[in-house]
């Protein structure tokens, strides 16, 4: 009883600080128009940036994959779970990313979280003397990967290339890794990848890029941040997730073949886990075709139109629109309770916009995280703009 009471006390303390998180149950597929607890909602919260999560072609491909390969993989990749579907997907991903990487090879993972742990532990673990330079706003999975790697971790300030340059110059580590999100998941802004890559090449460091929010959405062909900035290097280690713009699930690391082989040999989150369902890998082949093709190009263009529409339509005085050119368009509110009150007020109007609080973001920077998808229409975005402008002016009684 005492053990339970202690937990309940901790949970109550979350309530007191407006930090308790809750889940809503969706009864329909991921889409801008989603039924939640029996109620139709217009949603601005998914990372399904190209609107592929419920695309008929992918649903059909998943069915076909299940017919061809069954449902479960049955084992880890290194035992017997590595199917033809996984192998073909990895070849296609490597080929897709090859304009940006030397001797590119790709490795498919169950989740981006696991891919990040694998990448950092494999690159750093072979070397007692490794140092990871980690951007201060990195995703939790990169932070955890850096801890798990047992490398020395040095955090550099957000976007601050000069400070990073000083840190790299001062480092005596044999293996150096600069690790960053390409598009920051809670801010929407982008890391200065060309400057970071130049520094890494100068100091013989790896540049490890988490492109969870760039893959599929950035670049003319959807190759993500590397295509957006037109980068190519042997020093690049790239992670793209496949459950966001790609609409399915899982993730991949693409890098020089020797990097990938080291991950296969060393990374515990790759070795000691059951391979994802082959049907998912099979469905991802269709997703990749869509991303590369005409539909992908049209949807990326439409997404840009919606981003501009939102930026131009908001007339905010009190809340701050964060400097983002991507589909992640957060509005900085500040306090947790006010943020959650606003999210609730929007929800009452049928608009689903999540409030994001610490520890996901720094204390005092709670925000409404609006994400746009190519599946939204201009009418959807107009409705959001009207509601946000109205809500903000009502809160402006100061």
Ligand X SMILES: *Cc1c(COP(=O)(O)O)cnc(C)c1O
**CB 145, min distance to ligand X, A:** 10
Options 94-102, 205-213, 221-229, 377-385: segment touching ligand X (CB under 6 A): 205-213
**CB 113, min distance to ligand X, A:** 4
Query: Mask: binding to ligand X, 155-184, rule CB under 6 A, as x and -?
Result: --------------------------x---
Residue number of the CB closest to ligand X reads 112
101: which strand partners? Answer: 233
Q: Which of residues 249-268 bind ligand X (CB under 6 A)?
A: 251
- Residue among 199, 212, 245, 381 that touches ligand X (CB under 6 A): 212
Query: Mask: binding to ligand X, 298-317, rule CB under 6 A, as x and -?
Result: --------------------
- Determine how β-strand 251-256 pairs with β-strand 236-241: antiparallel
Comparing CB distances to ligand X, the nearer of 101 and 245 is: 245
**CB 137, min distance to ligand X, A:** 10
**CB 108, min distance to ligand X, A:** 11
Q: Which of residues 101-120 bind ligand X (CB under 6 A)?
A: 111-113, 116
251: which strand partners? Answer: 109, 241
Tokens for 126, please give them.
Answer: 């072979």
Counting contacts by CB under 6 A, is residue 380 touching ligand X? Answer: no
- Residue among 46, 121, 154, 241 that touches ligand X (CB under 6 A): 241
- Residue among 48, 187, 210, 227 that touches ligand X (CB under 6 A): 210
Comparing CB distances to ligand X, the nearer of 213 and 369 is: 213
**CB 92, min distance to ligand X, A:** 18
**CB 75, min distance to ligand X, A:** 21
Q: Give the distance, in angstroms, between the CA of residue 318 and the centroid of all CA atoms in the same chain.
A: 28
**CB 17, min distance to ligand X, A:** 24
Distance CA 238, CA 252 (A): 8
State the distance between the two ends of the chain, measured CA to CA, in whole angstroms.
48
Q: Give the distance, in angstroms, between the CA of residue 105 and the centroid of all CA atoms in the same chain.
A: 21
Asked whether 130 and 174 are in contact (CB, 8 A), the reply is yes
Comparing CB distances to ligand X, the nearer of 142 and 391 is: 142
Distance CA 377, CA 387 (A): 16
- Residue among 73, 121, 141, 336 that touches ligand X (CB under 6 A): 141
**CB 138, min distance to ligand X, A:** 8
**CB 305, min distance to ligand X, A:** 24
Provide the 10 A C-beta neighbour count for residue 71.
Answer: 10
Distance CA 33, CA 40 (A): 7
* Number of residues engaging ligand X in binding (CB under 6 A): 14
Comparing CB distances to ligand X, the nearer of 275 and 391 is: 275
Most distant pair of Cα atoms in the chain: their distance: 65
Asked whether 195 and 178 are in contact (CB, 8 A), the reply is no
Provide the 10 A C-beta neighbour count for residue 44.
Answer: 24
Tokens for 22, please give them.
Answer: 């809750």
Provide the 10 A C-beta neighbour count for residue 145.
Answer: 32
**CB 213, min distance to ligand X, A:** 6
Counting contacts by CB under 6 A, is residue 189 touching ligand X? Answer: no
Counting contacts by CB under 6 A, is residue 185 touching ligand X? Answer: yes
Counting contacts by CB under 6 A, is residue 139 touching ligand X? Answer: yes
Comparing CB distances to ligand X, the nearer of 112 and 222 is: 112
Counting contacts by CB under 6 A, is residue 240 touching ligand X? Answer: no
**CB 109, min distance to ligand X, A:** 8
Q: Residue 61: is it exposed, middle or buried by C-beta count within 10 angstroms (0-12/13-18/19+)? A: buried
Listing from the earlier edge strand, what are the strands of the sheet with 39-43?
33-36, 39-43, 351-352
Asked whether 198 and 98 are in contact (CB, 8 A), the reply is no
Counting contacts by CB under 6 A, is residue 227 touching ligand X? Answer: no
Asked whether 117 and 151 are in contact (CB, 8 A), the reply is no
Counting contacts by CB under 6 A, is residue 243 touching ligand X? Answer: yes
Distance CA 57, CA 33 (A): 19
Distance CA 175, CA 126 (A): 9
- Binding residues vs ligand X (CB under 6 A): 111-113, 116, 139, 141, 181, 185, 210, 212-213, 241, 243, 251
């Amino acid at each position: 009883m005492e053990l339970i009471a202690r937990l309940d006390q901790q949970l109550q303390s979350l309530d007191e600080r407006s930090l308790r998180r809750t889940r809503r149950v969706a009864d329909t597929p991921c889409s801008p128009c989603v039924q939640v607890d029996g109620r139709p909602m217009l949603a601005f919260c998914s990372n399904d940036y190209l609107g592929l999560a419920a695309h008929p072609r992918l649903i059909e491909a998943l069915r076909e994959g299940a017919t061809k390969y069954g449902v479960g993989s049955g084992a880890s990749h290194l035992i017997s779970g590595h199917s033809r579907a996984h192998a073909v997907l990895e070849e296609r991903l490597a080929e897709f990313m090859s304009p940006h990487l030397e001797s590119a090879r790709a490795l498919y993972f169950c989740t981006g979280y696991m891919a990040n742990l694998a990448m950092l532990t494999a690159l750093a673990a072979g070397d007692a003397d490794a140092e990871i330079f980690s951007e201060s706003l990195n995703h939790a999975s990169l932070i955890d990967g850096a801890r798990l790697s047992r490398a020395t971790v040095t955090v550099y300030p957000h976007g601050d290339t000069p400070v990073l340059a000083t840190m790299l110059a001062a480092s005596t580590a044999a293996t150096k890794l600069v690790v960053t999100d390409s598009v920051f998941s809670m801010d929407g802004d982008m890391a200065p990848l060309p400057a970071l890559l130049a520094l890494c090449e100068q100091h013989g460091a790896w540049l490890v890029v988490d492109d969870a929010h760039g893959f599929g959405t950035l670049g003319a062909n959807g190759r993500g941040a590397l295509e957006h900035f037109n980068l190519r290097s042997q020093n690049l280690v790239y992670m793209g997730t496949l459950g966001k713009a790609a609409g399915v699930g899982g993730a991949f690391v693409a890098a020089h073949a020797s990097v990938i082989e080291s991950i296969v040999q060393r990374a515990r989150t790759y070795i000691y886990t059951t391979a994802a369902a082959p049907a998912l890998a099979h469905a991802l082949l269709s997703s990749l075709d869509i991303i590369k093709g005409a539909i992908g190009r049209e949807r990326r263009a439409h997404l840009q139109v919606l981003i501009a529409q939102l930026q131009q339509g908001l007339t905010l005085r009190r809340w701050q629109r964060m400097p983002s050119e991507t589909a992640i368009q957060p509005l900085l509110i500040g306090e947790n309770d006010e943020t959650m009150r606003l999210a609730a007020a929007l929800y009452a109007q049928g608009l689903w916009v999540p409030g994001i609080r610490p520890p996901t973001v720094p204390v005092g920077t709670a925000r409404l995280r609006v994400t746009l998808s190519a599946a939204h229409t201009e009418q959807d975005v107009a409705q959001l703009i009207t509601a946000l402008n109205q809500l903000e002016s009502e809160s402006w009684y100061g």
